[in-house]
């Protein structure tokens, strides 16, 4: 089972690494981090690089596509090579998935037209503009397409996918292996659970960055 | 504020990347992934490499040390250069922290002698043998030392640390930025919450790997 995670300049590392940590534990799974060209891909803050082991073009038909997000998706959404790769990969995939603003890239490729999907909460309107039907859920499944909300939601999405592929007991064993019994030190983490002043704070910060 | 995450061959990527995703969002924070020598460090399954941007020896006094885990900690626990670096860094650090079996490396350096600490649930006995006092909690703080349980627990630990450094509202904003409102698709993820047959399954798998 070949799982391809496209990476690119200015990605969000946890979008990719959270699901990798789950899916790499599936039986007979090979996770490949690929890019337009092999080599290090720096995250959006420049503090970390993940290495692309090879070219996307050399792996056109993975069983699973997992598209991570990050500021770099803005450039990726206009990159015909990436969008073309996604369309071809999706046509033959067993599962096509995204984390965070990775959904915007799937949408830009036309994969989410009229499809219920989620993304980072700050970008739901953008997802709508791109033709998808934004849903305020952490993980949204529609047929073989599974999208996750922002950054850390990729872990929950990957466990959902692991259960579909290998059964619930196997997925639970992976969950225990990575000791995923989350216990955030404070409530929050979504627009439903965070305090209004925290939501405002993050919105202001995001506007400044944009 | 300089945050150093030592990386090494056969690490567990999420141990490092979960906390990085939180701590890199702190004001004036620079997260450095460092190793004995700069360059790519492959994870335990060989499917991903994180790039060390420089040498540990060139950054002896970070404000925060964050020691991740993975199978590679077994070799690291006998590497005097790493243990010496940790002792010197800890002597001057504001915070010394670990995720998963990273605690075993801190313990091997003598930093956890008689100190309450946690690690991956499969390795608690080993932590005791190394002189620490294992505690069955997800995040354990003792003075400036904070240890996290297995793999994903590093995210909760980093949010705890972010609140200590920048205040609770700032940490909550980071939590919302990475949309950390976890919702695992099934219960479990710790020895207290997982079904006994799942715990047995993971124990058997771990024995086979060891």
For the question of an ipTM over 0.85, the answer is yes
Q: What is the pLDDT of residues A159-181, one digit of tens each?
A: 999 999 999 999 999 999 999 99
Nearest CB among B14, B31, B177 relative to A18 is that of B14
Q: Is residue B63 part of a domain?
A: yes
Q: Is residue A106 part of a domain?
A: yes
Q: Is residue A16 part of a domain?
A: yes
CA distance B12 to B98: 12
Contact by Cβ (8 Å): A23, A64: yes
Q: What is the pLDDT of residues B117-162, one digit of tens each?
A: 999 999 999 999 999 999 999 999 999 999 999 999 999 999 999 9
CA distance A3 to B187: 26
**B155 DSSP β-pair partners:** none
Q: Is residue B192 part of a domain?
A: no
* 3-class secondary structure, B79: coil
CA-nearest residue to A50 within chain B is B50
Q: Is residue B89 part of a domain?
A: yes
Total domain count, chain B:
1
Give yes or no for residue B208 having a pLDDT over 90. no
pLDDT bin (cut points 50, 70, 90) of residue A209 is confident
Q: Is residue B197 part of a domain?
A: no
Nearest CB among B175, B183, B188 relative to A176 is that of B188
Give yes or no for residue B79 having a pLDDT over 90. yes
Q: Cβ of B33 and A40 within 8 Å?
A: no
What values do phi and psi take at B127, rounded to 5? -60, -40
DSSP B11: B
Q: Label residue B192 exposed, middle or buried (CB < 10 Å: 0-12, 13-18, 19+).
A: exposed
Cα-based angle B62, B64, B137 (whole degrees, multiple of 5) = 155
pLDDT bin (cut points 50, 70, 90) of residue B210 is confident
CA distance B194 to B184: 12
Question: Lowest-confidence range among A5-19, A196-210, B19-33, B145-159?
Answer: A196-210
Q: What is the pLDDT of residues A89-128, one digit of tens each?
A: 999 999 999 999 999 999 999 999 999 999 999 999 999 9
Q: Which of B100, B105, B140, B165 is catalytic?
A: B100
- Identify the H or E element spanning B148: strand B145-148
Q: What is the pLDDT of residue B108?
A: 98
Q: What is the pLDDT of residue B152?
A: 97
Q: Which domain holds residue A145?
A: 2-182
pLDDT bin (cut points 50, 70, 90) of residue B56 is very high
A120 neighbourhood in chain B, CB within 8 Å: 179
CATH of the domain at B149: 3.40.50.880
Q: What is the pLDDT of residue B176?
A: 98
A51 neighbourhood in chain B, CB within 8 Å: 40, 48-51
CA distance B135 to B119: 9
- pLDDT over 90 for what percent of chain A? 97
Cα of B18 to nearest chain A Cα, Å = 6
* Interface-testing mutation among B19, B70, B137, B181, with chain A (most A C-beta atoms within 10 A): B181
Q: Is residue B162 part of a domain?
A: yes
Q: Which of A77, A99, A100, A130 is catalytic?
A: A100
Give yes or no for residue A210 having a pLDDT over 80. no
CA distance B125 to B112: 14
All residues at 6 or more sequence positions from A183 whose CB lies less than 8 Å from its CB, including other chains: B138, B139, B156
Cα of A53 to nearest chain B Cα, Å = 8
Q: Is residue B210 part of a domain?
A: no
- pLDDT over 70 for what percent of chain B? 100
How is A136-161 classified by DSSP, letter by letter?
-SSEEEETTEEEE-STTHHHHHHHHH
Q: What is the pLDDT of residue A208?
A: 85
Q: Decide if B100 is catalytic.
A: yes
Identify which of B106, B31, B88, B46 has the alpha carbon closest to the alpha carbon of residue A14.
Answer: B31
Q: What is the pLDDT of residue B209?
A: 78
A184 neighbourhood in chain B, CB within 8 Å: 155-156, 159, 175, 180-182
Cα-based angle B142, B11, A21 (whole degrees, multiple of 5) = 95
Q: What is the pLDDT of residues B96-107, one digit of tens each?
A: 999 999 999 999
The token pair at A143 is 């047929």
Long-range contacts of A167-173 (CB under 8 A, 24+ apart): A168/B186, A169/B197, A169/B198, A169/B201, A170/A26, A170/A27, A171/B185, A171/B186, A172/B186, A172/B188, A172/B194, A172/B195, A172/B198, A173/B198, A173/B201, A173/B202, A173/B205
Contact by Cβ (8 Å): B173, A203: no
Q: Cβ of A151 and B180 within 8 Å?
A: yes
């Amino acid at each position: 089972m070949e799982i391809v995670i496209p990476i690119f300049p200015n990605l969000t590392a946890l979008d990719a690494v959270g699901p990798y940590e789950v899916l790499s534990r599936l039986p007979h799974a090979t996770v490949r981090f690929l890019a337009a060209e092999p080599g290090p891909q720096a995250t959006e803050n420049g503090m970390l690089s993940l290495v692309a082991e090879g070219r996307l073009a050399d792996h056109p038909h993975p069983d699973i596509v997992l598209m991570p997000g990050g500021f770099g998706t803005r450039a990726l959404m206009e990159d015909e090579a990436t969008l073309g790769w996604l369309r071809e990969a999706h046509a033959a995939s067993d599962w096509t998935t995204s984390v965070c603003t990775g959904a915007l890239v799937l949408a830009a490729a036309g994969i989410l037209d009229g499809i219920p999907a989620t993304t980072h909460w700050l970008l739901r309107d953008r997802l709508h503009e791109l033709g998808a039907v934004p849903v305020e859920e952490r993980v949204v499944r529609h047929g073989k397409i599974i999208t996750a909300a922002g950054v850390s939601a990729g872990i929950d999405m990957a466990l959902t996918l692991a259960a579909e592929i290998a059964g619930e007991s196997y997925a639970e064993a992976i969950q225990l292996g990575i000791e995923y019994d989350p216990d955030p030190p404070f409530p929050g983490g979504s627009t439903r659970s965070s305090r209004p002043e925290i939501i405002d704070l993050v919105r202001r910060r995001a506007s400044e960055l944009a």
